[in-house]
Amino acid sequence: MRILGVDPGLRRTGFGVIDVDGPRLRYVASGTIVVPPAQALHARLKVILDNLREVARDTRPDQAALEKVFLNTNPASTLLLGQARGAALCALADSGLAVQEYTALQIKKAVVGTGRASKEQIQAMVRHLLALDGVPAPDAADALACAICHAHCAPLAGRLQALAPETLSLRSRRLRTGRLIS
Protein backbone atom coordinates (compact mmCIF):
# COMPACT_ATOMS: atom_id res chain seq x y z
CA MET A 1 0.00 0.00 0.00
CA ARG A 2 1.27 3.47 -0.86
CA ILE A 3 0.23 6.41 1.36
CA LEU A 4 0.46 10.13 0.63
CA GLY A 5 0.62 12.22 3.79
CA VAL A 6 -0.12 15.95 3.69
CA ASP A 7 0.66 18.69 6.21
CA PRO A 8 -1.42 21.59 4.84
CA GLY A 9 -0.49 25.22 5.17
CA LEU A 10 -1.15 28.39 3.22
CA ARG A 11 2.54 29.30 3.10
CA ARG A 12 4.11 25.85 3.09
CA THR A 13 2.36 22.53 2.46
CA GLY A 14 4.40 19.43 3.21
CA PHE A 15 3.89 16.12 1.44
CA GLY A 16 5.36 12.69 2.06
CA VAL A 17 4.87 9.36 0.36
CA ILE A 18 5.66 5.98 1.90
CA ASP A 19 5.14 2.35 0.94
CA VAL A 20 3.77 -0.02 3.58
CA ASP A 21 4.34 -3.77 3.47
CA GLY A 22 3.08 -5.27 6.72
CA PRO A 23 5.20 -3.71 9.46
CA ARG A 24 7.77 -2.41 6.97
CA LEU A 25 7.78 1.25 5.98
CA ARG A 26 9.74 2.50 2.98
CA TYR A 27 10.36 6.10 1.98
CA VAL A 28 9.25 7.03 -1.55
CA ALA A 29 9.27 10.84 -1.78
CA SER A 30 8.72 14.02 0.19
CA GLY A 31 8.93 17.75 -0.17
CA THR A 32 7.41 21.12 0.52
CA ILE A 33 5.12 23.15 -1.71
CA VAL A 34 6.14 26.75 -1.11
CA VAL A 35 3.27 29.09 -1.86
CA PRO A 36 4.23 32.64 -2.96
CA PRO A 37 2.78 34.97 -0.28
CA ALA A 38 2.40 37.92 -2.66
CA GLN A 39 -0.27 36.16 -4.73
CA ALA A 40 -3.99 36.58 -4.18
CA LEU A 41 -5.64 33.95 -1.99
CA HIS A 42 -7.34 32.13 -4.86
CA ALA A 43 -4.03 31.86 -6.72
CA ARG A 44 -2.28 30.55 -3.61
CA LEU A 45 -4.95 27.87 -3.13
CA LYS A 46 -4.57 26.88 -6.78
CA VAL A 47 -0.81 26.39 -6.24
CA ILE A 48 -1.58 23.90 -3.46
CA LEU A 49 -4.28 22.18 -5.53
CA ASP A 50 -2.17 21.87 -8.69
CA ASN A 51 1.00 20.73 -6.92
CA LEU A 52 -0.73 18.08 -4.81
CA ARG A 53 -2.49 16.77 -7.91
CA GLU A 54 0.91 16.49 -9.57
CA VAL A 55 2.42 14.68 -6.56
CA ALA A 56 -0.51 12.22 -6.56
CA ARG A 57 -0.20 11.69 -10.32
CA ASP A 58 3.57 11.12 -10.15
CA THR A 59 3.65 8.87 -7.05
CA ARG A 60 0.33 7.01 -7.54
CA PRO A 61 -0.67 6.53 -3.88
CA ASP A 62 -3.48 4.18 -2.84
CA GLN A 63 -4.63 6.27 0.12
CA ALA A 64 -4.05 9.69 1.63
CA ALA A 65 -3.75 11.06 5.15
CA LEU A 66 -4.21 14.70 6.07
CA GLU A 67 -3.58 16.59 9.28
CA LYS A 68 -6.81 17.95 10.79
CA VAL A 69 -7.10 21.65 11.47
CA PHE A 70 -6.88 22.73 15.07
CA LEU A 71 -8.57 25.69 16.70
CA ASN A 72 -6.10 28.52 16.77
CA THR A 73 -6.22 31.58 19.02
CA ASN A 74 -6.37 33.71 15.87
CA PRO A 75 -9.66 33.02 14.03
CA ALA A 76 -8.37 34.56 10.79
CA SER A 77 -5.38 32.19 10.75
CA THR A 78 -7.66 29.24 11.47
CA LEU A 79 -9.91 30.18 8.53
CA LEU A 80 -6.93 30.54 6.17
CA LEU A 81 -5.54 27.17 7.27
CA GLY A 82 -8.99 25.67 6.69
CA GLN A 83 -8.96 27.00 3.15
CA ALA A 84 -5.52 25.47 2.52
CA ARG A 85 -6.85 22.17 3.88
CA GLY A 86 -9.84 22.49 1.54
CA ALA A 87 -7.54 22.90 -1.46
CA ALA A 88 -5.54 19.86 -0.33
CA LEU A 89 -8.71 17.79 0.19
CA CYS A 90 -9.96 18.75 -3.27
CA ALA A 91 -6.65 17.73 -4.86
CA LEU A 92 -6.71 14.37 -3.07
CA ALA A 93 -10.37 13.74 -3.88
CA ASP A 94 -9.84 14.76 -7.50
CA SER A 95 -7.02 12.20 -7.61
CA GLY A 96 -9.48 9.50 -6.55
CA LEU A 97 -7.93 8.94 -3.12
CA ALA A 98 -9.68 7.92 0.07
CA VAL A 99 -8.60 10.45 2.71
CA GLN A 100 -8.24 9.83 6.43
CA GLU A 101 -7.71 12.77 8.76
CA TYR A 102 -5.64 12.80 11.96
CA THR A 103 -5.08 15.44 14.61
CA ALA A 104 -1.58 16.64 15.40
CA LEU A 105 -1.88 14.85 18.77
CA GLN A 106 -2.74 11.53 17.08
CA ILE A 107 0.17 11.90 14.65
CA LYS A 108 2.69 12.75 17.36
CA LYS A 109 1.54 9.87 19.56
CA ALA A 110 1.70 7.38 16.68
CA VAL A 111 5.18 8.45 15.59
CA VAL A 112 6.96 9.64 18.73
CA GLY A 113 4.84 8.15 21.52
CA THR A 114 3.83 11.44 23.10
CA GLY A 115 1.39 14.12 22.02
CA ARG A 116 3.75 16.85 23.17
CA ALA A 117 6.59 15.94 20.80
CA SER A 118 8.65 18.77 19.34
CA LYS A 119 9.31 19.30 15.63
CA GLU A 120 12.85 18.02 16.17
CA GLN A 121 11.59 14.83 17.81
CA ILE A 122 9.21 14.21 14.92
CA GLN A 123 12.02 14.78 12.40
CA ALA A 124 14.32 12.39 14.30
CA MET A 125 11.70 9.62 14.55
CA VAL A 126 10.69 9.97 10.90
CA ARG A 127 14.37 9.70 9.97
CA HIS A 128 14.72 6.60 12.16
CA LEU A 129 11.47 4.85 11.11
CA LEU A 130 12.14 5.37 7.40
CA ALA A 131 15.93 4.79 7.63
CA LEU A 132 16.68 8.12 5.94
CA ASP A 133 20.22 9.36 5.43
CA GLY A 134 19.38 12.85 6.63
CA VAL A 135 16.80 14.76 8.61
CA PRO A 136 13.79 15.77 6.48
CA ALA A 137 12.65 19.39 6.39
CA PRO A 138 10.01 20.21 9.05
CA ASP A 139 6.97 20.37 6.73
CA ALA A 140 7.99 17.23 4.83
CA ALA A 141 8.68 15.45 8.14
CA ASP A 142 5.20 16.35 9.40
CA ALA A 143 3.65 15.00 6.20
CA LEU A 144 5.69 11.79 6.41
CA ALA A 145 4.64 11.48 10.08
CA CYS A 146 1.00 11.80 8.97
CA ALA A 147 1.53 8.97 6.47
CA ILE A 148 3.25 6.85 9.14
CA CYS A 149 0.36 7.49 11.53
CA HIS A 150 -2.06 6.26 8.88
CA ALA A 151 0.10 3.20 8.23
CA HIS A 152 -0.12 2.34 11.93
CA CYS A 153 -3.81 3.18 12.41
CA ALA A 154 -5.42 2.02 9.15
CA PRO A 155 -5.16 -1.75 9.78
CA LEU A 156 -6.92 -1.46 13.15
CA ALA A 157 -9.56 0.87 11.70
CA GLY A 158 -10.18 -1.66 8.93
CA ARG A 159 -10.63 -4.49 11.41
CA LEU A 160 -13.00 -2.39 13.52
CA GLN A 161 -15.01 -1.46 10.46
CA ALA A 162 -15.25 -5.13 9.50
CA LEU A 163 -16.67 -5.83 12.97
CA ALA A 164 -19.25 -3.06 12.68
CA PRO A 165 -22.01 -5.23 11.15
CA GLU A 166 -21.53 -7.80 13.92
CA THR A 167 -21.60 -5.09 16.57
CA LEU A 168 -24.76 -3.58 15.08
CA SER A 169 -26.37 -7.01 15.03
CA LEU A 170 -25.66 -7.50 18.75
CA ARG A 171 -26.96 -4.02 19.53
CA SER A 172 -30.22 -4.60 17.65
CA ARG A 173 -30.73 -7.96 19.44
CA ARG A 174 -30.28 -6.15 22.76
CA LEU A 175 -32.89 -3.58 21.76
CA ARG A 176 -35.41 -6.23 20.70
CA THR A 177 -35.04 -8.41 23.77
CA GLY A 178 -34.36 -5.71 26.33
CA ARG A 179 -31.58 -7.89 27.73
CA LEU A 180 -27.86 -7.31 27.78
CA ILE A 181 -26.08 -9.92 25.71
CA SER A 182 -22.43 -10.48 26.44
Express each pLDDT in 63-117 by its tens digit: 999 999 776 678 888 888 899 999 999 999 999 999 999 999 999 999 999 989 9
Q: Can you give the residue ranges of every domain in the chain?
A: 2-177
One of 1.10.606.20, 3.40.50.720, 3.30.420.10, 1.10.10.60 is the CATH number of 2-177, namely 3.30.420.10
Radius of gyration of the chain (CA): 19
* SS3 of residue 92 by DSSP: helix
Write the pLDDT tens digit of every residue in 123-174.
999 999 999 999 999 999 999 999 999 999 987 665 666 665 655 555 555 5
Cα–Cα–Cα angle for 7, 71, 99, nearest 5°? 40
Report, as residue numbers or ranges, the catalytic residues: 7, 67, 139
CA-CA distance, 29 to 56, in Å (whole number)? 11
What pTM did the predictor assign? 0.86
Separation of alpha carbons 9 and 82, rounded Å? 9
Rounded CA separation 21/60 (Å)? 16
| Cα distance between residue 168 and residue 70, in whole Å | 32
**CB contact at 8 A, 6 and 65:** yes
Half-sphere exposure of 157 (CA within 13 A, CB side): 9
